[in-house]
Chain A
Amino acid sequence: MHVPDGFLDAPTSVATGVVAAAGVGVALRKARAELDDRTAPMAGLVAAFVFAGQMINFPVGAGTSGHLLGGALAAVLVGPWTGALCISVVLLVQSLFMADGGLTALGTNITLMAIVGAFVGYAVFRLVLAVLPRRAGSVPVAAAAGAFVSVPTAAAVFTLLFAIGGTADVATGKVLAAMVGWHVVIGIGEAIVTGLVVSAVIASRPDLVHGARGLATRAPLVTSEAAA
């Protein structure tokens, strides 16, 4: 669901481009603060993982297929800033190297999928996690909730942009109903897969899951390195 060129008019495209550039700039700084000089290889590899995950298509019905968007998943696994950065890099590479998503729509795509996707997903994740019991088992449930909300929210923001800078004379209500309705269905799939993937990572390497920090149930392994 990468927005191509010409979907939104030029002023809206430029405006979302500015929003995206600012968002990516802040994300770069925040990710750097978190990962230090590991940023380039780690974020690059996580971006490659997100890209690979998006290659698996699921039948959504009516002969069309959807794929994992991964905003909430990346935010829960590596934190919202690094997650948003990784999704932005995926979109940049797809746009420049694979002609997937227009170059003028890059700002729109980054705003919707990286910024809104990761941050709405992460905010809902945090909210749900706060009301669930403090156990590692709550993390996948909260991640699924974050993924479920983030997809229709991104669709709703797209509708807003389409109402401002859309190039077709379609009633906003109709677009909103169609987009949000359709993306609720996609969101269910996204939620199930996100929750299952997070749960699989927690089962093997709970220490890698950013959203499960402080909830790891295993006793820490004391090594000479840790003692030193």
Chain B
Amino acid sequence: MGAGHGHRLHFHGHSVVHRAPAHLKVLALLAFVLVVVATPRDWYAAYAVHLAVLVGVIVAARVPFGYLLPRMVIEVPFLLFAGLIPFIAEGPRVAVPMPGGWELSLSESGLVAAWGLAVKGTLGVLASLTLAATTEPTDVLRGLQRLHVPDLLVQIMSFMVRYLDVVTGDLGRMVTAMRSRGVDPRSPRHWPALARTLGALFVRSYERGERVHLAMLSRGYDGRLPDPEPTAGAAR
């Protein structure tokens, strides 16, 4: 598909974590985040243990933190929300002295809640990033298959992943064409032009799906995909 190995979050490597079976990694991630979410937020020591486990895995995976940290910005809107909670939550308030001689009145339970949201969300994002950085998409899909996720669902996901770069590339070229004609897709003034672009993108994607289906039929598709090759990353 013109695109190289992996995807935008994958960090190429050959560590133990990279080589571990994908279905075990998905299960481990699910178990880890469930434990994190279920940990009472005032068990501060437990979070240190969670973080230590996660950091251990990342170190074993030899994925640099400088690679993972910038990708955590995805979480920023929720950190902002968490930051608001101490101001709006109920319960007894504490006064936090601020530089300049004034005091900030914050909800005590809100502070604890904000800490809980921030730490759980951050651990979750970092753990998910670690899975994405160490596992090729095809391996994740194969792992889901082994976990008995419905076959049709895995097939749909695999088509989405396979054609994602094609469709986003299509859109990218259309947006470039719009910009070169003086249209700013972000501005509401130009929403009609943007909407026509998205409409065209939908028609193109839908028709591409029809062509892909016909091509599959001509190769003997009968509603089931052949078992993927046993080796990861083999040429298709």
Identify the A interface with B (CB < 8 A).
1, 4-7, 9-10, 13, 24-25, 28, 32, 37-49, 51-53, 55-59, 64, 77, 85-86, 89-90, 92-93, 95-100, 102-105, 167-171, 174, 189, 192-193, 196-201, 203-205, 208
Can you list 18 A-B contacts (CB < 8 A)? A5-B124, A6-B37, A6-B120, A6-B121, A9-B38, A40-B158, A41-B159, A45-B205, A52-B168, A56-B175, A93-B157, A97-B7, A97-B161, A99-B131, A168-B114, A169-B113, A196-B199, A208-B202
Q: Report whether B107 and A169 are in contact in the complex, using a CB–CB cutoff of 8 Å.
A: yes
* CB-defined contacts of A205 to chain B, threshold 8 Å: 203, 206
Q: How far is the CA of A55 from the CA of B201 in the complex (A)?
A: 13
Minimum Cβ distance to chain B for residue A38 (Å): 5
Q: Count CB-based A-B contacts (< 8 Å).
A: 256
Q: Report whether A55 and B171 are in contact in the complex, using a CB–CB cutoff of 8 Å.
A: yes
* CB-defined contacts of B159 to chain A, threshold 8 Å: 40-41, 43-45, 47-48
Minimum Cβ distance to chain B for residue A140 (Å): 10
Minimum Cβ distance to chain B for residue A16 (Å): 12
* CB-defined contacts of A100 to chain B, threshold 8 Å: 74
Q: Report whether A168 and B212 are in contact in the complex, using a CB–CB cutoff of 8 Å.
A: no
- A102 and B33 contact, Cβ closer than 8 Å, known pairs A37-B222, A89-B157: yes
Which one of A52, A92, A93, A104 contacts B124 once the chains associate, using CB atoms below 8 Å?
A104
Q: Report whether A170 and B110 are in contact in the complex, using a CB–CB cutoff of 8 Å.
A: yes
Q: How far is the CA of A24 from the CA of B149 in the complex (A)?
A: 11
Q: Report whether A102 and B128 are in contact in the complex, using a CB–CB cutoff of 8 Å.
A: yes
* CB-defined contacts of B206 to chain A, threshold 8 Å: 42, 45-46, 49, 205, 208
Minimum Cβ distance to chain B for residue A84 (Å): 12
Q: Report whether B88 and A200 are in contact in the complex, using a CB–CB cutoff of 8 Å.
A: no
Q: Report whether B170 and A52 are in contact in the complex, using a CB–CB cutoff of 8 Å.
A: yes
Q: Report whether A204 and B203 are in contact in the complex, using a CB–CB cutoff of 8 Å.
A: yes
Flag whether B182 is at the interface (Cβ < 8 A): no
How many B residues have CB within 8 A of the partner chain? Answer: 87
Which one of B75, B152, B200, B202 contacts A4 once the chains associate, using CB atoms below 8 Å?
B75
Q: Report whether A204 and B88 are in contact in the complex, using a CB–CB cutoff of 8 Å.
A: no
* CB-defined contacts of A49 to chain B, threshold 8 Å: 167, 201-202, 205-206
Within 8 A of A (CB), among B82-134: 85, 88-91, 107, 109-110, 113-114, 116-117, 119-121, 123-125, 128-129, 131-132
The chain B residue with its CB closest to the CB of A11 is: B38
Q: How far is the CA of A32 from the CA of B223 in the complex (A)?
A: 10
* CB-defined contacts of B37 to chain A, threshold 8 Å: 5-6, 9-10, 13, 102, 104
Minimum Cβ distance to chain A for residue B50 (Å): 11
The chain B residue with its CB closest to the CB of A188 is: B188
Flag B173-192 by CB within 8 Å of A: 1 or 0 each.
Answer: 00100000000011010011
Minimum Cβ distance to chain B for residue A227 (Å): 21
Q: Report whether A28 and B152 are in contact in the complex, using a CB–CB cutoff of 8 Å.
A: yes
* CB-defined contacts of A169 to chain B, threshold 8 Å: 89-91, 107, 109-110, 113
Which one of B110, B171, B185 contacts A168 once the chains associate, using CB atoms below 8 Å?
B110
Minimum Cβ distance to chain B for residue A102 (Å): 4
